[in-house]
Chain A
Amino acid sequence: MTNTDWPLWEVFVRSRRGLSHTHAGSLHAPDAEFALRNARDLYTRRGEGVSIWVVPSSAVTASSPDEKDPFFEPSADKPYRHPTFYEIPEGVQHL
């Protein structure tokens, strides 16, 4: 038996209260319990986190890696969704 029989887990760490969990990296572990412990030892040796999520990598569904993919096209041609699209006369405040 080798490590390859241990599934891969993605580790998400909340660095402090008020912030969301952020992807920290991945590791191998036989089960969720070990994955959490290993994640604590691997990614929070210096107080980098107050909470950890571990998710089996196989449970992640990803979009196509191509950034020019039509998948993202709907948002590319709508500059009016950004506040900077609008011209406001000089001197108008709180807008």
Chain B
Amino acid sequence: MATATAPRTADDEAYQRTFDAAVAADERIEPRDWMPDAYRATLVRQIAQHAHSEIIGMQPEANWITRAPSLRRKAILMAKVQDEAGHGLYLYSAAETLGVGRDELLDKLHSGRQKYSSIFNYPTLTWADVGAIGWLVDGAAITNQVPLCRCSYGPYARAMVRVCKEESFHQRQGYELLLALSRGTPGQHAMAQDAVDRWWWPSLMMFGPPDDESAHSAQSTAWKIKRHSNDELRQRFVDICVPQAKSLGLTLPDPDLRWNEERGHHDFGPIDWTEFKEVIKGNGPCNEERITQRRRAHDEGAWVREAAAAHAAKHSGTAAAHTGGRTEKEVGQA
């Protein structure tokens, strides 16, 4: 990354003007364009955190793959967890276009120097949690991510388009799962309600701190990385969820939740930000477990990476000739 201390030259000023004009005109910034160091650093932080969230997010749900109640649900859950891995890879690739390495990003995740969404530090206690995660956690993620498809940084925006297309299945399978439980036995209904009760507030926290306390919001908005404020997106999510909960036959655990005719939105109760801050600090129910599991998966996969690289080195001559032939054939058809 460029040194932040270098004095600005006339060239820098000109580059800055070109960058500002592109952002103002709603054009996309691409990897090889000049960009302010702080813009680059902000994107690396945000995209890395987003990528980490995707792969850490595989854990709470993967816990239930072996215990899914039917083959249908099991196949769905495996496809969903595989998607989360894919989303992580799209995002790591986007981060890498900014000049950071994959191993560097994983190192920072493993050592706690980069964060992931605090939502994944909550446990999945019952099968209904898989449904609540799909409906609420993925629902909140979609609300956050749809505007990111228009983010000023091209590779991030393109990754988000792909992610959003796939998230829709995640949300719908969760909703359908909860609906089946809600309409099932009284015990199943209670299980669904319990999961929604536990996931509702953490899902609202996913939108980040209130606007007046959000550290990065103003600058990110000016750079058009962020298109809507945290509170605006949170309100949008609440308004979407209320009728969906009604159709599920479940309630949302907020006595203050009611329609406000004047505002044209639902009012909702105060969020416990103390809990949010504690979980971010590392004191959530599963922080330790998630990172330990991630490190273990990485370490235990080392031999696979090494074997693949050794195989590639051993066959580099013949493999190149082999695939070269095939590519040529393909090109001939293009």
Q: Which residues of A contact B (CB under 8 A)?
A: 1-6, 8, 20-21, 25-28, 30-34, 41-42, 45-46, 51, 53, 62, 64-65
Contact B90 A5 (CB under 8 A): no
Q: Which residues of B contact A (CB under 8 A)?
A: 30-33, 79, 82-83, 86, 89-90, 93, 96, 101-103, 106, 158-159, 162, 166, 302, 305-306, 308-309, 311-312, 315-316, 319-320, 323, 327, 330, 334
Contact B334 A4 (CB under 8 A): no
Contact A34 B312 (CB under 8 A): yes
Contact A25 B311 (CB under 8 A): no
Chain A, residue nearest B298 (CB): A2
Contact B93 A4 (CB under 8 A): no
Contacts of B102 in A (CB 8 A): 2-4, 28
Cα of A42 to Cα of B92 in the assembled complex, Å: 13
Contact B89 A65 (CB under 8 A): no
Given contacts A4-B101, A8-B96, A51-B330, contact A32 B319 (CB under 8 A): yes
Contact A62 B32 (CB under 8 A): yes
Cα of A62 to Cα of B97 in the assembled complex, Å: 14
Contacts of A25 in B (CB 8 A): 90, 93, 158-159, 162
Chain A, residue nearest B104 (CB): A4
Cα of A42 to Cα of B54 in the assembled complex, Å: 14
Q: Nearest Cβ distance between residue B54 and chain A, in whole angstroms? A: 13
Contact B323 A32 (CB under 8 A): yes
Contact A21 B334 (CB under 8 A): yes
Other-chain contact of B82, A45, A53, A62 (Cβ < 8 Å): A45
Other-chain contact of A31, B93, B103, B315 (Cβ < 8 Å): B315
Given contacts A8-B96, A30-B309, contact A65 B30 (CB under 8 A): yes
A-B pairs under 8 A by CB, number: 70
Other-chain contact of B89, A1, A31, A42, A51 (Cβ < 8 Å): A42
Contacts of A51 in B (CB 8 A): 330
A sample of 20 cross-chain residue pairs with beta-carbon separation below 8 angstroms, ordered by A number, consists of A1-B306, A6-B305, A6-B309, A20-B334, A25-B162, A26-B96, A30-B305, A30-B309, A31-B308, A31-B316, A31-B319, A32-B319, A32-B320, A33-B319, A42-B86, A42-B89, A42-B90, A46-B166, A65-B31, A65-B32
Given contacts A2-B103, A6-B309, A51-B330, contact A26 B93 (CB under 8 A): yes
Q: Nearest Cβ distance between residue B132 and chain A, in whole angstroms? A: 24
Contact B306 A31 (CB under 8 A): no
Contact A27 B89 (CB under 8 A): yes
Contact A30 B93 (CB under 8 A): no
Cα of A31 to Cα of B308 in the assembled complex, Å: 8
Cα of A81 to Cα of B138 in the assembled complex, Å: 49
Contact B311 A30 (CB under 8 A): yes
Contact A5 B309 (CB under 8 A): yes
Contact A34 B308 (CB under 8 A): yes
Q: Nearest Cβ distance between residue B106 and chain A, in whole angstroms? A: 8
Q: Nearest Cβ distance between residue B172 and chain A, in whole angstroms? A: 14
Contacts of B309 in A (CB 8 A): 1, 5-6, 30
Q: Nearest Cβ distance between residue B315 and chain A, in whole angstroms? A: 7
Q: Which of A6, A20, A28, A30 has the most CB of B within 10 A?
A: A30
Cα of A41 to Cα of B83 in the assembled complex, Å: 10
Contacts of B93 in A (CB 8 A): 25-27
Given contacts A21-B334, A45-B82, A51-B330, contact A33 B323 (CB under 8 A): yes
Contacts of A62 in B (CB 8 A): 32
